Amino acid sequence: MRSGFVAILGPPNAGKSTFLNQVLGFKLAITSDKPQTTRHRILGVHNDPQRQVVFLDTPGLHAARRALNQRMVQTALATLEEVDAVLFMAEVSPRGLAEAQEVAHQVLAGGKPVVLALNKIDLVADKTALLPILQRVTAWGQWAAVVPISAQTGDGCPALLTELGRCLPEGEPLFPEEMLTDLSERFLAGELIREKVFRLTERELPYSVAVTVDEFLEPEEEGRPTAITATIHAEREGQKAILIGKGGQMLKKIGTAARQDLERLLGGPVFLDLFVRVEPKWSRQDKGLRKLGY
C-alpha cells in the first residue's frame, strides 16, 4: 500500500479540475471552458486497493498582474512544499504545449518527482502525431513519467494513477476511505454558484466576480429544503446590471443552474436566494481579497 499527497499543477485550462473530477467519480472542482476558473486549493482523495492518492488541485500557473491572480499563483506554488509528488498537466495543442513549457521549470525546480500528463488526446485525430510531442516534452526536464491521457473520457487515467502511485511512499491511508474531501458543503455551494457565472456570462465579467455564502441552513426535517443565501460580488455597477439582467433573467438563470447542481450535491431540495452587490476593486486590493475569502 502506498499513500501520499500529489499536487496538480499546470497552466490554466489544461484540464486539472476535469481530471480530479474524473478520478474521484464525482464533481468536486468546478470547471468551465474559460481559463483561471480554479482559485483555491481543492483537496480530493482517490482510493483503490493499491494506493490512496490525496490530490491538491490548484489554480493555473500564469503571468499574474492583478492581486487576485498573484494570490492564485502563490497558492499553486506553495503546494510544492506540502506534497510527495507532482502531477503536471499540459494540453497537447500547440498553444497548450507552449504555455506548459513556460511554467514547467517552476514545477521541476521544486525537487519533487513530477509526472507529466499530456491531456486532451481525444482531440488528436492522428495518434501518430503524439510521438513528436512526447519527444519534445521529454527535453523539458527530468520527468518521473510521461503519460498521454484524456481527462474528459478517462482514457489513460488508470495508467497515470499507477505512475503517480510509484512516486508515493509506502504507508497506510492518510484519510478514512469514506472521506473524499476536506471542503465544507458551504464552500462547495459558493463554488457552484461561481461556476455558473463563469459559464453563463461573457468576456472579463467572471474574473471580476466572487461569491460569498451568507447563510447555509440545513433542514430540521427530512424532505425539507436546505436554505442557502449567497451574494455575488462584482466590481462595477455595470457588471451588477449584467449579472441581474433584464427583468432579473440572468440572475434567475444563474440561480436555477446552481440550484440543480446543489440538489445533486446535497441529495435533496434546495431553496437558493441570490443577491448581487458591488465591491469596488476587490480583486486588486489585499483588503478586498481577504474580505471575500482569498
Contact indicator for 144, 114 with CB cutoff of 8 Å: yes
pLDDT score at 64: 78
Three cell numbers, residue 11? 497552466
Enumerate the CATH 3.40.50.300 domain ranges in the chain, comma separated.
Answer: 2-166
Enumerate the CATH 3.30.300.20 domain ranges in the chain, comma separated.
Answer: 185-291
Q: Nearest Cα to 49, choosing from 5, 2, 86?
A: 2
CATH number for the domain running over 185-291 = 3.30.300.20
Helices (H), 93-236: 94-108, 130-138, 157-166, 185-200
pLDDT score at 204: 85
223 DSSP assignment:
T
- 90 band by pLDDT with thresholds 50, 70 and 90: very high
pLDDT of 89 over the 90 cut: yes
Dist. CA 43–CA 20, nearest whole Å: 9
pLDDT score at 36: 87
Over residues 36-62, the pLDDT tens digits come to 899 999 999 999 999 999 999 999 998
Q: Which residue has the cell 457552484?
A: 192
pLDDT of 125 over the 90 cut: no
- 238 band by pLDDT with thresholds 50, 70 and 90: very high
Mean pLDDT of 138-165: 96
- What are φ and ψ of residue 120, in 5° steps? 70, 35
- The reported pTM is 0.92
Over residues 171-217, the pLDDT tens digits come to 999 999 999 999 999 999 999 999 999 999 988 899 999 999 999 99
pLDDT of 124 over the 90 cut: no
The CATH superfamily label for domain 2-166 reads P-loop containing nucleotide triphosphate hydrolases (3.40.50.300)
Three cell numbers, residue 18? 476535469
Contact indicator for 16, 8 with CB cutoff of 8 Å: yes
Contact indicator for 197, 243 with CB cutoff of 8 Å: yes
pLDDT of 235 over the 90 cut: yes
pLDDT score at 203: 82
Q: Nearest Cα to 100, choosing from 143, 65, 156?
A: 143
Dist. CA 51–CA 40, nearest whole Å: 25
- 223 band by pLDDT with thresholds 50, 70 and 90: confident
Residue 231: how many other CB atoms lie within 10 Å: 18
pLDDT of 99 over the 90 cut: yes
pLDDT score at 237: 97
pLDDT score at 126: 86
- 78 band by pLDDT with thresholds 50, 70 and 90: very high
pLDDT score at 129: 87
70 contact partners, CB below 8 Å, separation of at least 6: 64
Q: Give CA separation, 279 vs 80, 110, 237, 247, 249, in Å.
A: 33, 37, 9, 22, 22
